[in-house]
Structure 1
Amino acid sequence: MKSRILLALFAPLLLTGCLLSPGKFTSQLSLMKNGSFSYSYAGEIQMLAFSKLAEMAADEEEEFTASDCYDDDFNDRPCTEGEIAEQKAEWDANADVRKAKKAKEAEQMKMFLGGIDPSSPEAAEEFAEKLSRQKGWNKVTHKGDGLFEVDFNVSGQLSHDFAFPMIEKMPMGASFVSAILRKDGKVRIDADGFAAQGAGNPMQGMMSGAMGLAQLKSSEGEGSPNMVLPEGTFTVITDGAILANNTDEGPSRNAAGQQVLTWAVSPRTEAAPTALIDLSD
């Protein structure tokens, strides 16, 4: 029964593309008035499509369950043997429809993964190799159960919007961190991927589902999926003017006189880190 609950929680995540989840990590974003920026993420990232939960979803056999029956006043009542038999016959007749739907969902998942078949035994290694070809991904190691140890670092001029992670041939879904440039020199920073609770963005909804999965899987026994939750620190460093932020303590100063914003992220984090910084002269 618990396995079915896990799969029910997981199914929406499979079809939304919100399949990447941060685990233990350290992340830092630097934004300077001269236009330079750097971003780093070191730690764990889980691809849910490569976890044991995905295998459970693929292997799960559908079983017939009778629908509720009602009387003339629309109150629940026990179904008769004839009604159950009729429902079962209709369920059997729709076997091909369910099979076609499952095949379509498998193709959708393959599309979300940039052509990688998640049912392949080499899928995780293929994904790691794919990331390793992209600039910034200095280390991508599969630790098993869809969990990767990564070291990402990129720097340059912030002449356009930035989001992490971005993966070749994968549709752009909810990002862990984004920096959105405004025409007046201001930059909006949102780290939606670093909040497990609350509502208002797809990543928070995904992480809430992951929390439910993690809580249920502990009683599943040996072989249950290993679901990670966000735990780490996110730091923003800038020499610009901090116009808004939702840290607990506000900005501090480092040895270079730059302003530093720090968020401690845990499964209890309710509000996603956010800030507005003015980099104009």
Structure 2
Amino acid sequence: MNTRNAIAALATGLLLAACMLLPGRFASDLAVRKDGTFTFHYKGEIVLAPLADPSPSSKDEEQEEFVAAPCSNEDTGEEHDCSAQELAKQKADWAGEQEKRRADKAREQEKSRKAVASMMGGIDPADPRAAQEFADRLSRQQGWKSVVSKGKGLFEVEYEATGRLDHDFTFPTIERLPLVVPFVTVIRRKDGTVRVDAPAFMPGGSTPQMPGLGQAAGKDNAPKLDGHFTVVTDGAVLANNTDEGPQADAGGKRLDWKIGASTPAAPTALIKLAP
């Protein structure tokens, strides 16, 4: 493999890994207090894209039929009706080509399966136990209160975390699945501000679809991005990209984002904590 192909393969691998986990229908809220404490909550769906729809498309299942090519004289080039011997040779050559194509396709599928399993920390998407294995892995981690597989890569979950922002916070962080587009990040700066970003809470570029999820997208039961994200703080809201800006709330100020197919940009806010 030359350098250009190696770079392309690496870029593709990173892209596929990054969009493995996507939000579906959900409600999420974050409370950031000016004393530096926070509480984060997410309840709803997450989608493990490689398990979304692993079945091949109908086009992949179509069988190509043999079609005889015209026969001609090697010396004169004049066409003639194919003899039984010539047709038999054509069919044998065609069958050999078909077998080679099937073998090549099987090798590529096996390589892809192994690559995805590696990105998923050893979970094989072809294994019927893969969904439960992923659910068990999440359930072992602190903060995951409930993880239920609903089939085809869809999980109904509830997660909650409380802590102090003397370190950054990212959701989700999953054991042996490091390359995930964060749903929500809370970054503490040295100047006493906190930046909140939700890069996965928007359609399109930040959450491109995995093979499988793309096949499922046109189906009525396909996972859809449909959620609500709220930030409440008693600190000073210095910047945000909500439609209505900060609203009065018992906890101070509230920022609301409706997340769906028409969401123009990922939610973001900058909050000043107490000195």
1:268 and 1:138 map into 2 onto residues whose CA distance is 30
Tell me the alpha carbon deviations over residues 179-227 of structure 1, each in whole angstroms, 9 at most, x when there is no partner: 1222222222111211114x4x3x2x339x968852x334xxxxxxx32
Are the equivalent residues in 1 in contact too, given 2:50–2:213 (CA < 8 A)? no
Aligned counterpart for 1:99 among listed residues 106, 110, 120 = 106
2:14 and 2:213 map into 1 onto residues whose CA distance is 9
2:172 is the counterpart of 1:165: yes
Are the equivalent residues in 1 in contact too, given 2:17–2:179 (CA < 8 A)? no
Are the equivalent residues in 2 in contact too, given 1:44–1:147 (CA < 8 A)? yes
Which residue matches 2:124?
117
1:246 and 1:217 map into 2 onto residues whose CA distance is 32
Are the equivalent residues in 2 in contact too, given 1:166–1:172 (CA < 8 A)? no
1:271 and 1:143 map into 2 onto residues whose CA distance is 29
2:162 and 2:113 map into 1 onto residues whose CA distance is 36
Which residue matches 2:34?
33
The structure number with the bigger radius of gyration is 2
Are the equivalent residues in 2 in contact too, given 1:64–1:88 (CA < 8 A)? no
Paired residue type of 1:54: P
Which residue matches 2:20?
19
Tell me the alpha carbon deviations over residues 88-138 of structure 1, each in whole angstroms, 9 at most, x when there is no partner: 977765655543332221111111211111111111111111100000000
Which residue matches 1:250?
245
Which residue matches 1:272?
266
Are the equivalent residues in 1 in contact too, given 2:14–2:179 (CA < 8 A)? no
Unaligned runs of 5+ in 1: 1-10, 66-84, 219-225
Report SS of the residue matched to 2:56. Answer: helix
2:233 is the counterpart of 1:238: yes
Are the equivalent residues in 2 in contact too, given 1:15–1:105 (CA < 8 A)? no
Paired residue type of 1:275: A
Tell me the alpha carbon deviations over residues 56-105 of structure 1, each in whole angstroms, 9 at most, x when there is no partner: 37x9558779xxxxxxxxxxxxxxxxxxx999977765655543332221
Inter-CA distance 92–158: structure 2 relative to 1 (3 Å threshold): same
2:56 and 2:101 map into 1 onto residues whose CA distance is 23
Inter-CA distance 210–182: structure 2 relative to 1 (3 Å threshold): farther
Paired residue type of 2:238: L
Aligned counterpart for 1:185 among listed residues 164, 179, 192 = 192
Report SS of the residue matched to 1:271. Answer: coil
User: Between Structure 1 and Structure 2, how many residues are aligned?
Assistant: 237
Report SS of the residue matched to 1:114. Answer: coil
Aligned counterpart for 2:223 among listed residues 224, 228, 234 = 228
1:153 and 1:26 map into 2 onto residues whose CA distance is 12
Cα deviation, residue 21, structure 1: 2.0
Inter-CA distance 146–153: structure 2 relative to 1 (3 Å threshold): same
2:259 and 2:118 map into 1 onto residues whose CA distance is 31
2:215 and 2:235 map into 1 onto residues whose CA distance is 40
Are the equivalent residues in 2 in contact too, given 1:176–1:194 (CA < 8 A)? yes
Report SS of the residue matched to 1:38. Answer: strand
Name the % identity. 43
Are the equivalent residues in 1 in contact too, given 2:113–2:126 (CA < 8 A)? no
